Amino acid sequence: MKKTPRIAIIGAGMGGLATAAALHRFGIQAQVYEQADRFARVGAGIQMSPNAMKALRGLGLEEQVRRTAFQPQTWNNRDWDTGAVRFELPLGQKAEDQFGAPYLQMHRGDLHSALLSAVPKQQISLGRKFLDVQTDAAGSKLSFTDGTTVEADLIIGADGVHSRVRELLLGPEKPTATGRVAYRATFAASLLSHPIGECTKWWGEDRHIVIYYVTSAKDEVYFVTSLPDGVWVDESWSAKGDMAVVRDAFAGFHDEVSDVLRACPQVHRWAILLREPLERWHREGLVLLGDAAHPMTPYMAQGAAMAIEDGITLARALDHAPDIEHALSIFQTARKARTAQVQNISQANTWMREETDPTWCYGFDPWTEPLDI
């Protein structure tokens, strides 16, 4: 790009930080505005599939992540009661050789810290909740709830599923309720009575639970569920849940599941809602990425991976294109079909229920994928 643009990134989550880090690698500066006053290691697990790890590799973060994350040797899909294996995907070195990068499991807070380390501290502004934007020929003026304003040529909406940037771009909208709720928790592995499988999805008739380790030391365990619930519609990740409800919902499941749920001291819950793939991600210096553009159900463990891939691709487009509008068009063209495919498969909740070839997903590298420039 001939001119150095003024770039404002709204949201310092995985997508926002990955975008800022990738732009920094290209020598393009962006300012990240985050509504939180500080960052905390919030309790949740995350799976970094090979496509996500290739994205992190290009940011210089692979070794840092490897040191803290757990590398499973297998992904097991098992029947809820007998434990019979439906489909087992070999991971470990075999997956690393096949897909060109490892498959890792980790705490979301550890991934966030790694991405944060790749962005200069002065490029992150905390306590800045985005409110509105006014656009004219000279650019855009952003306003925040604390009364401050900044000017920018490009606003990147990486502000998650409740994106204010998306609302300004598309107007108010209401997601579709699925009638399902997810419960999630991380807790000390020392509370368990018995060891667990390295990464297992237990498939019930109308519910499931995924359980895995999130640290290289195997000292923290994570689980996430999906349960029928036609009442709860709060999409907040911080809402507290009731472990008694979770234990009752999985009564009769395999002993390994029961042991994990008995050991877990507390849990969070959020409603699983649907949003259809968008026709357009950008307009007049505004662009969406990650959950703001294509929020997903958790059933493929690809939400963060898609956001990070988005950030890499947008940074590459801005580095190569002659101007911002060309860059946004390149970015949207490069990402729409892939993210829509992941959205649709994830919503169907069929990923790895039976024999699955994940090459199309895990073999992807956002640093080398051709761009239509």
Catalytic annotation, residues: 212
Q: Which two tokens stand for residue 105?
A: 């499991």
Q: Which amino acid is at 193?
A: S
**Other residues' Cβ atoms within 10 Å of the Cβ of residue 102:** 22
Three-state SS for 58? helix
Of 304, 208, 226, give the one whose Cα is nearest residue 269: 226
Residue with token string 């990464």:
199
Q: How are beta strands 45-48 and 74-79 bridged, if at all?
A: unpaired
CA pair distance 42, 184, nearest whole angstrom: 11
CA pair distance 159, 164, nearest whole angstrom: 7
DSSP 353: T
CA pair distance 195, 293, nearest whole angstrom: 39
Q: Are 183 and 241 in contact (CB under 8 A)?
A: yes
